[in-house]
Amino acid sequence: MPSQSVSPRIAREDYIAFKILLRTDPDFPDRFEEWQRLCLRHDAKRVNSGHPIREVAIGPDEFAEYCRACGREPSSAMILAFAVVKAARG
């Protein structure tokens, strides 16, 4: 059975908070629509490869706390890392 792919989801109303948290990450899109489009494109590639997608909702406060606990700066990579950890917790 193919492995599951985790896909972080940020609510539109939380995007500005994430944009502030990730202000030094040049890979984080300026607009929610751009970020959403990138996520959907990534998800489609994974699904086409036979990997089911598990969407994981991420809030800015829990994400910021995760980054602090890890001693890491917020980044696009950390969003994915947190989504994987959150999915594993159930």
Q: Tell me how many domains the chain contains.
A: 1
Cα torsion 20, 24, 30, 35 to 10°: value is -90
pLDDT score of 1 more than 60: no
Could you tell me the two tokens for 57?
A: 């909702």
pTM score, whole prediction? 0.89
Domain that holds residue 12: 5-89
54-73 pLDDT, tens per residue? 999 999 999 999 999 999 99
